[in-house]
């Protein structure tokens, strides 16, 4: 059974709890910090069976979950993952960030974020829950680099799906969905920054909603579609087409790893793009 993030309990039940001081924190409700009170952040649940006038006799127990964050060493999501790790530590959870699947420890939750190798089933069994966030409206858009493919297709909104990792790729139960709106002028660094931040917010929401959210997962339905893995050849421009016609391809070009290029008169030319905003522009 997954470790509970927060459990309401009456003071006279405390003697029946077997606990480890490293695993729990106990707070009288009346002394809790504002962010943990009802209506702000993670809310403690006070049993309706207990009289409201006795609310100050209640205590809340917050179990510290063991959470692992797995990503590739060079992932563009790593900066945002670092921010997520900091926020979760501040909430009392024990966090480890790592880049090798074989280094995943036993724990409560494993987040697989920006990791492009298939995680073996034996590794998934080390944690009670394994979570992935994918940049598509699953089951549509399974597979590789959905963010780049969606921008190339002209999508104005990037759907995000937080789901359970299973051995079959991108096929687990869905817990949360979200969307990131794009205005159409963003280049790859901006797109990645915005999407990564939204992904981490979704992960934090999942943690704050544990363990009850685990009972609300839904199976994927509908016919799945798949994106293939992108290659350097996918950033080839057609010199006979206009820049406007190929602007979405330029938007997803990685100037360092996979820059846009075109071939002309027997030579290959590399194009690197950056945005310089007009100071009068407000959007």
Q: What is the pLDDT of residues 102-152, one digit of tens each?
A: 999 999 999 999 998 889 999 999 999 999 999 999 999 999 999 999 999
Query: What does the pLDDT read at residue 205?
Result: 96
Kindly state whether residues 132 and 197 are assigned to the same domain: yes
* pLDDT of residue 86 exceeding 90: yes
**Domain match, 132 and 85 both:** yes
Q: Is residue 98 part of a domain?
A: yes
Say if residue 220 is in the same domain as residue 161: yes
Q: Which residues on adjacent β-strands are paired with residue 26?
A: 61
Instruction: Give helix 78-90 / helix 188-208 axis angle, nearest 10°.
Output: 30
Does residue 258 belong to any structural domain of this protein? yes
In a domain, 276, yes or no: no
Confidence of residue 40 (pLDDT cuts 50, 70, 90): very low
Nearest to 88 by CA among 75, 101, 97, 98: 97
Residue 4: closest CA among 109, 97, 133, 111 = 109
How many residues in total does the chain contain?
283
DSSP tally for the chain: helices H, then strands E: 5, 13
Report d(CA 8, CA 239) in Å as an integer.
Answer: 65
**DSSP category for residue 137:** -
Query: Does residue 71 sit in the same domain as residue 182?
Result: yes
| 87 and 206 inside one domain | yes
* 209 & 80 share domain: yes
Q: How many CB atoms lie within 10 A of CB 200?
A: 24
**Is a pLDDT exceeding 70 seen at residue 229?**
yes
Same domain, 172 and 208: yes
Residues 6+ apart with CB under 8 A from 207: 5, 65, 67, 88, 91, 93, 109
Residues 92 and 134 in one domain: yes
283, part of any domain: no
For residue 12, what pLDDT is reported? Answer: 33
The reported pLDDT for the residue numbered 220 is 95
- In terms of domains, do 33 and 135 share one? no
Range 5-34 average pLDDT: 40
For the chain, how many structural domains are there in total? 3
Tell me: do 43 and 142 sit in the same domain: no
Residues in a beta bridge with 163: 132, 174
- Say how far apart CA 66 and CA 93 lie, in whole Å: 6
Structural domain of 245: 232-271
Does 44 map to a domain?
Answer: yes
Report the pLDDT value the prediction gives residue 147, as an integer from 0 to 100: 97
pLDDT of residue 62: 54
Give yes or no: residues 131 and 58 share one domain.
Answer: no
Q: Does any domain span residue 112?
A: yes
Task: Work out the mean pLDDT of the chain and round it to a whole number.
Answer: 82
CA distance 261 to 203: 36
State residue 168's pLDDT score.
87
149-186 per-position pLDDT tens digit: 999 999 999 999 999 999 888 999 999 999 999 999 99
The backbone region for 141, taken as left when phi is positive above 0, alpha when psi lies in -120 to 50, beta otherwise, is: left
Residue 277 lies in a domain: no
In this structure, what CATH number is given to the domain that contains residue 79?
3.40.50.170
Based on the fold, state whether residues 175 and 159 are members of the same structural domain: yes
């Amino acid at each position: 059974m997954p470790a509970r993030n927060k459990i309401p309990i009456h003071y006279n039940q405390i003697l029946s709890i077997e606990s480890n001081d490293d695993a729990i924190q106990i707070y009288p409700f009346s002394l809790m910090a504002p962010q943990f009170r009802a209506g702000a952040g993670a809310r403690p649940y006070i049993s309706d069976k207990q009289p409201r006038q006795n609310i100050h006799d209640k205590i809340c127990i917050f179990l510290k979950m063991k959470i692992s964050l797995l990503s590739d060493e060079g992932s563009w999501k790593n900066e945002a993952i670092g921010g997520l790790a900091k926020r979760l530590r501040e909430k009392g959870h024990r966090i480890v960030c790592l880049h090798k699947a074989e280094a995943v420890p036993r724990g409560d939750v494993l987040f697989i974020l920006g990791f492009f190798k298939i995680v073996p089933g034996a590794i998934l069994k080390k944690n009670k829950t394994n979570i992935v966030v994918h940049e598509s409206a699953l089951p549509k858009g399974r597979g590789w680099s959905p963010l780049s493919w969606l921008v190339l297709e002209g999508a104005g909104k990037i759907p995000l799906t937080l789901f359970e990792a299973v051995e079959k790729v991108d096929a687990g139960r869905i817990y949360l969905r979200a969307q990131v709106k794009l205005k159409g002028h963003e280049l790859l660094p901006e797109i990645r920054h915005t999407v990564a931040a939204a992904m981490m917010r979704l992960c934090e929401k999942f943690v704050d909603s544990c363990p009850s959210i685990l009972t609300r997962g839904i199976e994927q339905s509908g016919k799945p579609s798949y994106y293939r893995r992108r290659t350097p050849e996918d950033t080839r421009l057609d010199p006979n087409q206009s820049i406007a016609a190929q602007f979405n391809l330029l938007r997803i070009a990685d100037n360092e790893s996979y820059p846009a290029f075109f071939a002309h008169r027997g030579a290959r030319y590399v194009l690197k793009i950056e945005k310089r905003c007009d100071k009068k522009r407000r959007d």
